[in-house]
A and B are shown apart, each in its own frame.
Chain A
Amino acid sequence: MESAPRRLDPDAVFRGLCRAAAVGILALLVLLVLEMTYGARLALFRFGPVFLVTRAWDPVAGRFGAATFIYGTVVSSFVALCLAVPFGVAIGLFLVEVAPRPLRGPVGFLVELLAAVPSIVYGLWGLFVLAPVVRDVVAPALRATLGFLPAFRGPSHGVGMLTAGMLLAIMILPFIAAITRDVLTVVPRELRESSLALGATRWETLWHVVLPHGRAGIVGGVILALGRALGETMAVTMVIGNNPQIAASLFAPGYSMSAVVANEYAEASGPLYLAALTEIGLLLFAVTVTVNAFARALLWRMARDISGSARG
């Protein structure tokens, strides 16, 4: 019956289209890296690796260095982790082990909703609510109690490194809480029951049995949250103070990698200025990719361990 010349096999066409879309995603990443490297070439050639440790940022004189921005990104993210990890893990523990059942759903939903709130909204709140609180309440209290440390000396104008760190902490809290909850949920019941049967208290069971079992997963989640904090732009831009300096005090304004790109890119004049900003963006991309790959490797290993122990 087949008299017409053979047409293209529709199944092959369909597979090819799907495959093309998948390959397109790979191409997107390659294109992104190439485009940005090309965009940053002037700065890359001109400054070389010294760019990373140069503190000068003087567009008029054409002198650029990323040190102050790297410092701002690292310090604000570090402050955020210090604050968010204990609270986030506590929320996770509370949701899985402590909270009465009817409470788990609503609290879980609130936590998830907060992970979805756009960063511009956090920034708005940080600028008009959190910054004044830091200036009038948090900074004076820290100065009175921990003022012997250089990190907690000097005046606070509200916006600054500490405010950025606190706001970032609030933003990554839902992520740490959610991943802790997910990891602890899969800790086998038998482990808990054995521990309790041996006479351990509830806290001893959590601390010595449940948490260590989920440690790899929680660490992976914390690192994912770190990746988010490092790349977070709008909220940080609005509260970090946007002043390129390395100050000992956390109250002082700083600047972050994402913030300098957000603030200055649209108005940057001159190819070298643009290239320097693009190089900062490229650096930020490289750092977040590395951090995320590391986190995923940890989470992947944990998933493998769990499925392995279930089989064995």
Chain B
Amino acid sequence: MTARRTTSLRRRVVDRVMIALCTLAAVAAVAILALLLGYVLAQGARHVDLAFFTRPPAPVGERGGGFLNALVGTAIMVGLASAISVPVGVAAGVYLAEFGRGRLATAVRFVADTLNATPSIVAGLFAYTLVVVPMRRFSGLAGGVALAVLMVPTITRTTEEMVRLVPRSLRESALALGVPEWRMTLDVVLRAAAPGVGTGIMLAVARASGETAALLFTAFNNRFLSRDIDQPMASVSVQVYTYAVAPYDDWHRQAWAGALVLVTLIALFSAAVRVATQSRHRPLL
């Protein structure tokens, strides 16, 4: 009785079928995702025009107008959030990478990861009680604070990872030259890690630019062009939301244009990040 040397027909069929199913599922899923992006691109491209970038909204009921107020508002609030979160996030990341041992560092890492996964609506609630309640009105400042809460953990964790990658020998050479520790960290280590840290900051900025839930009841909305951060402020994302759920076709068209702008921004950032960190492994979470 000789052992069968070929795999049985049943096993071969199962193998082929399951691998095919796997491929099919992947193709189907990628197709759905591609369809989504394609639809946003097609709809957005049809409705985006010069007025979208240069005009504030037309009075309710009139056609035309654009997203200028929202573009300016998003830029101001993301800038404000960056001004708060970049120094804090980078410093905390440097602490974790350079000095962070023991309980405190573990706790900070855990808390940063926790905050990273916090629903953005919770950041909105936080900024509401912290800024909106004392000021007694919605404001761009509150929006910036809410976005900063969302940005800090991302920046902290990427900074830590990037600073860790800087070789020890570089630090030792600097110290051997008699450079004090703080100058060594700022001028040598951080400079060496700058591309990676910049990538983390860009990711955080990209996420904040598309953020909506955190702004709904912090910055609220504003149909007029405003640069005052102590007044309610428009943002591209909130305006897309308002326009999408409103009953006007013209607003729906502008919402698609707004979505296209957001997606383009994200795609540019993602591509830049991919170029900047070509060979390195990037964790998605």
Residues on A with C-beta less than 8 A from B262 are 118, 120-121
List 30 interface pairs A-B (beta carbons < 8 Å), by A numbering: A10-B182, A17-B91, A18-B94, A20-B91, A22-B96, A22-B108, A25-B92, A25-B112, A93-B26, A95-B26, A120-B241, A121-B262, A170-B32, A170-B36, A178-B284, A182-B284, A202-B15, A203-B14, A203-B15, A206-B18, A231-B120, A233-B120, A258-B121, A261-B125, A262-B216, A265-B124, A265-B216, A278-B129, A289-B114, A292-B114
Q: Known: A116-B266, A119-B212, A120-B240. Contact between A23 and B104, CB under 8 A?
A: yes
Q: Among the interface residues B40, B180, B284, which one has the most CB atoms of the partner chain A within 10 A?
A: B284
The one of A32, A88, A122 that contacts B122, using a Cβ cutoff of 8 Å = A32
Interface hub of B108, B125, B128, B269 (most chain A Cβ within 10 A): B125
Q: A25-B111, A118-B211, A266-B220 are in contact. Are A179 and B284 (CB under 8 A)?
A: yes
Given contacts A111-B33, A261-B121, contact A117 B217 (CB under 8 A): no
Other-chain contact of A231, B91, B95, B122 (Cβ < 8 Å): B122
Nearest Cβ on chain A to B80's Cβ, whole angstroms: 17
Pairwise interchain contact B210-A26, C-beta atoms closer than 8 A: no
Q: Would you give the 0/1 interface string for B251-279, flagging 1 where the beta carbon is closer than 8 Å to chain A?
A: 01001100100110011011000100000
Is B237 a contact partner of A118 (Cβ separation < 8 A)?
A: yes
A31 to B125, alpha carbons, bound, how many Å?
12
Does the CB pair B263–A232 fall under 8 Å?
Answer: no
- Selected from A182, A199, A224, the residue in CB contact (under 8 A) with B117 is A224
Closest to A266 in B: B217
A149 touches B (CB below 8 Å): no
Question: What residues of chain A have their CB less than 8 Å away from a CB belonging to chain B?
Answer: 10-11, 13-15, 17-26, 28-29, 31-32, 35-36, 38-39, 86-88, 90-91, 93-95, 98-99, 107, 109-125, 127-129, 170, 173-175, 177-179, 182, 199, 201-204, 206-207, 224, 227-228, 230-234, 238, 258, 261-262, 265-266, 278, 281, 284-285, 288-289, 292-293, 296
Number of chain B residues close to chain A: CB under 8 A: 94
Confirm or deny: B167 has a beta carbon within 8 angstroms of a beta carbon on chain A.
no
Inter-chain CA distance A192–B213, complex, in Å, is 45
Asked whether B52 is an interface residue with its Cβ less than 8 Å from the other chain, the reply is no
**Which residue of B is nearest A299, CB measured?**
B285
The answer to whether B125 touches A22, judged by C-beta atoms less than 8 angstroms apart, is no
Q: Mark B178-197, 1 if CB is under 8 A from A, else 0.
A: 00111001100000000000
A39's partner among B125, B212, B283 (CB-CB below 8 A) is: B125
Complex contact A29–B114 (CB within 8 A): yes
The answer to whether A296 and B113 have CB atoms under 8 Å apart is yes
Could you tell me if A234 and B115 are in contact, using CB atoms closer than 8 angstroms?
Answer: no
**Chain A nearest CB, measured from B132 CB (Å):** 10
Query: Are the C-beta atoms of B111 and A107 separated by less than 8 Å?
Result: no
Determine whether B51 belongs to the interface, using a CB cutoff of 8 Å to chain A: no
Q: What residue in chain A is nearest B255 (Cβ atoms)?
A: A124
Kindly list chain B residues whose C-beta atoms are within 8 Å of the C-beta of A202.
Answer: 15, 19
- Tally of contacts, chain A with chain B, CB under 8 A: 276
B residues near A111, Cβ cutoff 8 Å: 30, 33
User: Which residues of A are found within 8 Å of B112, using beta-carbon distances?
Assistant: 25
Which B residues lie within 8 Å of A127 (CB)?
Answer: 244-245
A39 vs B108: C-alpha distance when bound (angstroms) = 25
Residues 1-60 of B at the A interface (beta carbon under 8 Å): 7, 11-12, 14-15, 18-19, 21-23, 25-26, 28-30, 32-34, 36-37, 39-40
Residues of A within 8 A of B256 (CB): 124
A203 neighbours in B (Cβ, 8 Å): 14-15, 18-19
Report Cα–Cα, A204/B209, bound state, in Å: 45
- Looking at the assembled complex, report how far the CB atom of B8 sits from the nearest CB atom of chain A, in whole angstroms: 10
> Which B residues, 127 to 179, have Cβ-Cβ distances below 8 Å to chain A?
128-130, 138, 149, 152-153, 156
How many angstroms between the C-alpha atoms of A127 and B156 in the bound complex? 35
Instruction: Name the CB-closest residue of A to B8.
Output: A201
User: Which 4 A/B pairs are nearest by Cβ-Cβ distance?
Assistant: A118-B210, A231-B119, A14-B182, A90-B25
Min CB–CB distance A38 → chain B (angstroms):
7
Residue on A nearest B116 in the bound complex, by CB: A292
Q: Are A24 and B92 in contact (CB under 8 A)?
A: yes
Over the window 80-96 of chain B, the binary record of Cβ atoms lying under 8 Å from chain A Cβ atoms (1 yes, 0 no) is: 00000001110110111
**Please, how many angstroms separate the alpha-carbon atoms of A136 and B97 in the complex?**
54
Cβ 8 A contact of B212, one of A17, A118, A179: A118
- Let me know if A233 and B30 touch, CB within 8 A: no
Residues A292 and B23 in contact in the complex (CB < 8 Å), given A261-B125, A281-B121: no
With a cutoff of 8 Å between Cβ atoms, the chain A residues found around residue B19 in the complex are 98, 202-203
Q: Are A124 and B240 in touch, CB under 8 angstroms?
A: yes
Chain B residue, CB-CB nearest to A281: B125
> In the bound complex, what is the Cα–Cα distance between A88 and B266 (angstroms)?
22
Q: Are A121 and B259 in contact (CB under 8 A)?
A: yes
Nearest B-chain residue to A15, judged by Cβ: B99
Which A residues lie within 8 Å of B263 (CB)?
117-118, 121
- Tell me if B128 and A234 are in contact (CB < 8 A): no
Q: Complex: how many Å from CA A10 to CA B180?
A: 8
Given A11-B181, A36-B129, do A114 and B33 touch, yes or no (CB 8 Å)?
Answer: yes
Residues of B within 8 Å of A119, CB to CB, are 210, 212-213
Whether B107 and A238, one on each chain, are in contact in the complex, defined by CB atoms closer than 8 angstroms, is no
